[in-house]
Amino acid sequence: MWLFNSSVGRKFVMSITGACLALFLLFHATMNLVAIISEDGYNMICEFLGANWYALVGTLGLAFLAVVHILYAFVLSIINYRARGKERYAVSSRANNVEWSSMNMLVLGFIILAGIVLHLCNFWAKMQLVEILGQEPANGVELIKYTFAQWYFFVPYLLWFVALWYHLTHGIWSAMQTLGWSNNIWLPRIKCISNIIATIIVLMFLVVLVYYFVAGNCCAATCAAI
């Protein structure tokens, strides 16, 4: 099967899964924004995406994409490590035009994976999972308010988003390049597009995070002062 046997096939799978995950992120980030605008609206979405069949299918699909993306990342990394040969260069330096992120996608991936685990424990376990188990899910907005106000959650989330930004800036254009949607003229353009999309996604996440951190801490401080 060429999707597993050939190098381009493997990269094709990485690209498609990566691109789908990026689309999900875009959706997720948009959803999060709603929490700032309207708390009721956000809770409505949470309810809508509870333990319904379509939400479950979506979740399973998402999990599948993530697992495939991660598994392929490992397979690719192992093959590439071997291809490099046993001896390593004593001196190596990055050429111009080579992004730092492109050389460190696996490391960034690890950080993101750790972030996902944290995130699932924080939210998914208390919302969709409990609902699946037949219990009452937590209130989405309240959960956000609580979690993001804690500095020991805030800082890992911040790091997570930074890693995500780096991962996406390379990942999006790289996916397009792998799918063949690039040429001499479009290469700089897709790199630019990639940066814009990555920034939008991460910015949306960041706004919600910072909003609730500031709101939680400053308001508490203000209240205490009064």
Partner 1 sequence: MDKTINITLKVWRQAGPKAKGHFETYKLNNISTDSSFLEMLDVLNEQLISEKKEPVVFDHDCREGICGMCSLYINGHPHGPDSAVTTCQLHMRRFHDGETITVEPWRSNAFPVIKDLMVDRRAYDKIMQAGGFVSVNTGGVPDANAIPISKKNADEAMDNASCIGCGACAAACKNGSAMLFVAAKVSQLALLPQGKVEAASRVKAMLGKMDELGFGNCTNTGACAAECPKCVPLSAIARLNREFICAKFKD
Which residues sit at the interface with partner 1, rule CB under 8 A? 2, 5-12, 76, 79-80, 82-99, 102-103, 105, 170, 173-174, 177-184, 186-187
Measured from the CB of residue 165, what is the shortest distance to partner 1 in angstroms?
17
Give me the least distance between CB of 132 and partner 1, in Å please: 37
**C-beta closer to partner 1: residue 5 or 222:** 5
- Helix 39-48 and helix 140-149, axial crossing angle in degrees, nearest 10: 110
Q: Least distance to partner 1 from the beta carbon of 36, Å?
A: 35
DSSP H helix total and E strand total for the chain: 10, 0
DSSP character at residue 85: -
Q: Which of 147/174 has CB closer to partner 1?
A: 174
Q: Give the nearest distance from C-beta 86 to partner 1 in angstroms.
A: 8
Task: State the Cα–Cα distance between residues 4 and 177, nearest whole angstrom.
Answer: 19
Q: Cα dihedral sign for 123, 124, 128, 134?
A: negative
| 72: nearest Cα among 6, 4, 136, 137 | 4
Please choose, from the candidates 78, 57, 68, the residue with its C-alpha nearest in 3D space to the C-alpha of residue 15: 68
In whole angstroms, give the CA distance from residue 178 to residue 8. Answer: 8
Q: How far is CA 13 from CA 73, 162, 194, 195, in A?
A: 10, 25, 19, 22
Query: Nearest approach, Cβ of 174 to partner 1 (angstroms)?
Result: 4
- Note the residue count of the chain: 226
Q: What would you measure as the largest C-alpha separation in the chain, in angstroms?
A: 68
Q: How many CA atoms lie within 13 A of 186 on its CB side?
A: 9
Least separation, in Å, of the C-beta of 188 and partner 1? 10
**Which backbone phi and psi does 148 adopt, to 5 degrees?**
-70, -15
In the complex with partner 1, which residue's Cβ is closer, 43 or 182? 182
